[in-house]
Chains A and B, each alone.
Chain A
């Protein structure tokens, strides 16, 4: 877990805004966030490197990050687990994600999906979805 100096007012989700699969998942999260607890920022937004310089850009490309109001940044499967706790609509999923000893499995699954995210959602028309 990375601690940032900047403490956002809401849980901030940092995602790859040039990836079609990531954008579809963020649209899903927006729908599930009924009480407006989350803020979404693309990692390509200039404010990300300004407000969260502690998180390396390579890490942001590798996995999604969630920064909570205490400045703690969680990435990958831990971020998904955190979101499942925060969003009431995801509480059934939280029960599965929190089974003791299963975090390495979710890490592997997340890493596999993140690696193949461009194959899952197809390529973008303008080519901006390609990994750097």
Chain B
């Protein structure tokens, strides 16, 4: 499960970084529709940091062991309990 979380977080960070790289600013509207919208402008380094952090997280996902571990050489698979 944790492996999937790392992969999902990494991909999310990469996508968010690329999006920030493509836009200059974003207008955030209030959820309830009342009040003034706020303009969000990301710093220059933010997209690159997000992409880098996402890439590192995806690399960490690749380094994590597979759940259940690898079967030793020559071992036979147990019979299924669900026949």
Choose the segment among A13-21, A26-34, A41-49, A93-101 that binds chain B (4+ C-beta atoms closer than 8 Å): A93-101
Q: Answer yes or no: B55 CB below 8 A from chain A CBs.
A: yes
**CA–CA, A96 to B48, complex, Å?**
9
Chain A's nearest CB lies how many Å from the CB of B53?
Answer: 5
Q: For window 73-103 of chain A, which residues contact chain B by CB distance below 8 Å?
A: 81-82, 85, 94-100
Q: For window 22-64 of chain B, which residues contact chain A by CB distance below 8 Å?
A: 44-45, 48-49, 51-53, 55-56
**CA–CA, A85 to B47, complex, Å?**
10
**CA–CA, A96 to B59, complex, Å?**
13
* Majority DSSP secondary structure for residues of B touching A: helix
Kindly list chain B residues whose C-beta atoms are within 8 Å of the C-beta of A97: 48
Q: Check B48–A100 contact: CB distance below 8 A.
A: no
Q: Check B52–A96 contact: CB distance below 8 A.
A: yes
**CA–CA, A97 to B45, complex, Å?**
10
Q: Check B45–A95 contact: CB distance below 8 A.
A: no
Q: Check B53–A99 contact: CB distance below 8 A.
A: yes
Chain B's nearest CB lies how many Å from the CB of A103?
Answer: 9
Q: Check B52–A85 contact: CB distance below 8 A.
A: no
Chain B's nearest CB lies how many Å from the CB of A3?
Answer: 15
Kindly list chain B residues whose C-beta atoms are within 8 Å of the C-beta of A100: 49, 52-53
Interchain Cβ contacts under 8 Å between A and B, 24 examples: A81-B45, A82-B44, A85-B44, A85-B45, A85-B48, A94-B48, A95-B48, A95-B51, A95-B52, A95-B55, A96-B52, A97-B48, A98-B45, A98-B48, A98-B49, A98-B51, A98-B52, A99-B49, A99-B52, A99-B53, A99-B56, A100-B49, A100-B52, A100-B53
Give 4 new A-B contacts, CB below 8 A, not counting A95-B55, A99-B53: A85-B45, A95-B52, A97-B48, A99-B56
Interface residues of B (CB under 8 A from A): 44-45, 48-49, 51-53, 55-56
